[in-house]
Structure 1
């Protein structure tokens, strides 16, 4: 049976000497394994630093995040790039770079610069920016765009320094679209994981995607743990698969939080159905500076999700999620 990311991440925290939240004896956690839910840094501490920048990932670790989440796109030369969007104008300084002025094109009804049109070396010359206008831009224009290799090197260096294990949850974006361009991300992903001894069932890794066929292919090629992301109505994912079908190839589901909870905070039954099939539930996204799905504050929302029994919460502000979890554990 595959080891859970919760156990691996919390074991890593223990090795680092960081305080752990209590299990069911102290807090009554309703998670799949009874352990405290994970705080997953969504693109790093992206509420306070430009998403997917090294400072965002560094801050997330300082704030106590259990898991780091990088999104992965593909460069023109087949390198995995740590970006959420396939276009570059909002998250980088490319619009201010005269050497790239003539390389914007229209795709999907949008005129922009696209990750797939640039080599990894070109992309690494770009500097990151905050993507949300109501968040601070004080850290814009400083940190370079990362390759997945850069990110994994950072994680390795941090692990060596703390003597601990840092869990990661990369999301492969648009695999079908990239494959159609001749840039299948699966071999690049497997090569990166294999090079670092992470292509195994008990590695502190969960690979996510909204693309069920991609995850099915990955399941055939590797023992690494998988999470099927889901944003629609309860009962089926975007590909029309039931939870029972998802459980045949995935270890976890990543539903939008509104799939799990009604506005009054009560359960829709999705989480309980997933747990009954042995699937962990990692939900997204909790943000301190956005209206909560339930309750008056983000703390109310977090307490509701933790109380429901989610196994992990994606958040742009890890410090808040860590604090609320500790309060619920009586620490």
Structure 2
């Protein structure tokens, strides 16, 4: 974990979260591990967005290994199901952008996904960081990631495109339980879908959840902001009650900082969320000045494609 004095705020979310999470625990080990995780979340978290994806193809084992070696607090992955029910790490609903294939992720079985080249696109997009060994990079499964990094590493997993496959949450939670990640206090679940998070909560209320939000202008000729899924009003009109509604199932909120270069939240938004016992994690920040700004605001964590940049600021 990464601790910075500027983040000390005296708010009570941690005590509340531990008290709530402790209800119904089936064993002391689980209670202890979850309490340790929640305590760690009180400190600033460096969240490696799809691994160290500024240095290697996103979600690749190389990007995840780099982030792990850099010392990121969490490895962040987007999780979807293949056509044959395997949990895989890929962001888009289609394979078009990050592989040499075409079509919906959910139309490929695992063998089909593994046959794709998921690395050459990175070399084409980032010639200054291109490496020949990225060519032929494979799509990775959640099992493969856990095999590599184990239960001592923490994972920040998003239920991606959950509305397209209503079995995703159950399959993912079963996997995390079977592999010991929940018992180890090693996983946070995030989603833009409130319904998806509430499904996870119903399966296991002990797992920390983060409600993702995306704020943008309501129209081209309006300064009023709206939230993509409607889970909250725009930041200018958000109320304590709105934050409390999120707090009923989540320990935190994950927001964008800007839309097309224009800032959509400010330090008042951060303070108001924290006053309502919510952690605030901001995505996806790669420029040092923005990282420093968010640190001054006292956010609780930042997603970044360049974990080492952020780690240098907070250590």
Q: Report the TM-score, using the length of structure 2 for normalisation.
A: 0.76
- Aligned residues of 1:92 and 1:141 also touching (Cα < 8 A): no
The offset of 1:286, in angstroms, is: 1.0
Judge conservation of contact 1:39–1:313 (CA < 8 Å) in 2. Answer: yes
List alignment gaps of at least 5 residues for structure 2: 15-40, 217-224, 233-241
Partner of 1:243 in structure 2?
Answer: 243
Question: Contact (CA 8 Å) 1:31, 1:311: kept in 2 or not?
Answer: no
- Stretches of structure 1 that go unaligned for 5 or more consecutive residues are 1-9, 11-20, 95-111, 160-164, 288-297, 327-331
CA contact (8 A) 1:31 1:310 kept: no
1:167 aligns with 2:174: no
2:113 is aligned with 1:123: yes
Query: Is 1:211 matched with 2:193?
Result: yes
User: Alpha-carbon deviation of 1:128?
Assistant: 1.7
Deviation at 1:140? 3.1
Deviation at 1:168, TM superposition (A): 0.7
CA distance in structure 2 between the aligned counterparts of 1:79 and 1:218, rounded to whole angstroms: 18
CA distance in 2, matches of 1:172, 1:266: 24
Structure 1 residue 22: deviation in Å? 4.3
C-alpha contact 1:175 1:185 (8 A) present in aligned 2: yes
Moved more, 203-212 or 125-134: 125-134
**How large is the Cα RMSD of the aligned pairs?**
2.7
Q: Which moved more, 1:186-195 or 1:132-141?
A: 132-141
Give the deviation of 1:30 after TM superposition.
Answer: 4.7
**In structure 2, what is the Cα distance between the partners aligned to 1:173 and 1:37?**
25
Please list, as runs of the form range in 1=range in 2, the aligned pairs for 1:1-331 lying within 5 A after superposition: 10=1, 21-24=2-5, 27=6, 29-30=8-9, 35-94=42-101, 112-129=102-119, 130-131=121-122, 133-134=125-126, 136-138=129-131, 139-156=133-150, 165-179=152-166, 184-200=167-183, 203-222=185-204, 223-232=206-215, 238-241=229-232, 242-258=242-258, 263=263, 267-287=266-286, 298-326=287-315
Check the 8 A contact 2:4/2:44 in 1, yes or no: no
CA deviations over 1:35-67 (Å, ceiling 9, x no partner): 541111000010010000010011111222111
3-state SS of the aligned residue for 1:81?
Answer: strand
Q: Quick one: distance in 1 between partners of 2:276 and 2:104?
A: 39
Cα separation, 2, equivalents of 1:23 and 1:304: 14
Distance in 2 between residues matched to 1:194 and 1:267, nearest whole Å? 37
Residues 246-255 or 232-241, more deviating: 232-241
Q: Match of 1:170, SS?
A: strand
State the 1:133 CA deviation: 2.1
Contact 1:39–1:315 (8 Å) recurs in 2: yes
Q: Do 1:212 and 1:239's aligned partners in 2 also have CA atoms closer than 8 Å?
A: no
Identify if the C-alpha distance between structure 1 residues 255 and 89 changes in structure 2 by more than 3 Å, giving closer, same or farther.
same
TM-score when normalising by structure 1: 0.72
